[in-house]
A = this chain, B = another copy of it.
Amino acid sequence: MFCESNKELKTLVEEARTYTKDGKVADYIPALGKANPNDLSIAINYPDGHCVSAGDVSEKFTLQSISKVISLALVLIDRGSKEVFEHVGMEPTGDPFNSIAKLETMIPAKPLNPMINAGALVVTHLLKGSTNDEKLDRLLAFIQTLANDSTIGYSEEIARSEYETADLNRALCYFLKQHNRMNEDVEQLLNLYTKQCAIEMNCLHLARIGMVFAMDGVDPETSKQVIPKEVARICKTFMVTCGMYNASGEFAINIGIPAKSGVAGGIMGAVPGRFGIGIFGPALDDKGNSIAGIKLLEMLSKNYRLSMF
């Protein structure tokens, strides 16, 4: 994928990079902790195939929570929104993404939305396929199509490491299972979910996926509707209301772009009808979002009036 280096973007990246010192790389597994906190890169992918970038765009990172919105898209395609929303809600929440408390106060333990861990686990368990391998292959094929790169895979090291430390997600799964929100074998589900989270790419790929969401699910190179418009719309709505953990509201106010972040430092943005954005900056703020990535998006949104609102 070719993407030309852009001077204006580079200036913004250098300005945003000064904020990395106030952030911290995720270190709950060693592999994530090895990331360079000063890294910051961005790519912007336009529907006409044009791409501009700044920073070391070849740097790979794992999707982590960004995968939640992509697996949601595939599950919505697989099952239809009616079935999916019988299993998971649509409401944003001011609680942290890993909170179990609200699950308990709700009858009947239906996760509030697909962007919190409990909801994302329910979504992943709805992926079609007779085995985990089949489900993962389908998800990877979907992502490869979106990113237009058939070499995209997942990091076995990170998947294994996440799997071994996934006790909070285990707790969420067993809680959901107890309340009949899922029937699946928990270890099997976590095996799949941690691989999904460990899918690896660079910010060029992420920008291209964001661009397909921005173009209502149409891949402009092939003119194919790879995501139904309705599904793309639902995903972008969740990106606005709950894409940035419990800083989603602030992000919507200050930046106003459908976006989803992950703890490895990635942020995928989709500016409706215009372009996709991929950012990688592993130093995180206290909500778990790329601290410099958010600053960069804020500058972009202000300078180019990107807010939808």
Q: Is A93 an interface residue (CB 8 A)?
A: yes
The residue that A99 contacts in the complex, of B90, B99, B104, B246, with Cβ under 8 A, is B104
Question: In chain A, residues 63-122, which have Cβ atoms closer than 8 Å to a Cβ of chain B?
Answer: 89-95, 99-102, 104-105, 112-113
Q: Which of A15-23, A53-61, A130-138, A174-182 sits within the interface?
A: A174-182
Q: Is A242 an interface residue (CB 8 A)?
A: yes
Contacts of A168 in B (CB 8 A): 174-175, 178
Q: Which of A153-161, A199-207, A233-241 sits within the interface?
A: A233-241
The residue that A94 contacts in the complex, of B93, B171, B173, with Cβ under 8 A, is B93
Contacts of A89 in B (CB 8 A): 94, 249-250
1/0 per residue A269-309: CB within 8 Å of B?
A: 00010000000000000000000000000000000000111
Question: In chain A, residues 241-261, which have Cβ atoms closer than 8 Å to a Cβ of chain B?
Answer: 241-242, 246-250, 252-253, 256, 258
Q: Bound complex: CA of A186 vs CA of B168, how far in Å?
A: 13
Asked if B93 and A92 make an inter-chain contact with CB atoms under 8 angstroms apart, the answer reads: yes
Tell me how many chains of this kind the complex includes. 4
How many residues of A sit at the interface, in one of the four size bands? Answer: 35 or more
Q: Is A170 an interface residue (CB 8 A)?
A: yes
Contacts of A258 in B (CB 8 A): 309
Q: Is A27 an interface residue (CB 8 A)?
A: no
Q: A215 to chain B: closest CB distance in Å? A: 13
Q: Bound complex: CA of A100 vs CA of B238, how far in Å?
A: 26
Q: Bound complex: CA of A171 vs CA of B179, how far in Å?
A: 11
The residue that A167 contacts in the complex, of B101, B177, B247, B249, with Cβ under 8 A, is B177
Asked if A252 and B256 make an inter-chain contact with CB atoms under 8 angstroms apart, the answer reads: no
Q: Bound complex: CA of A234 vs CA of B250, how far in Å?
A: 10
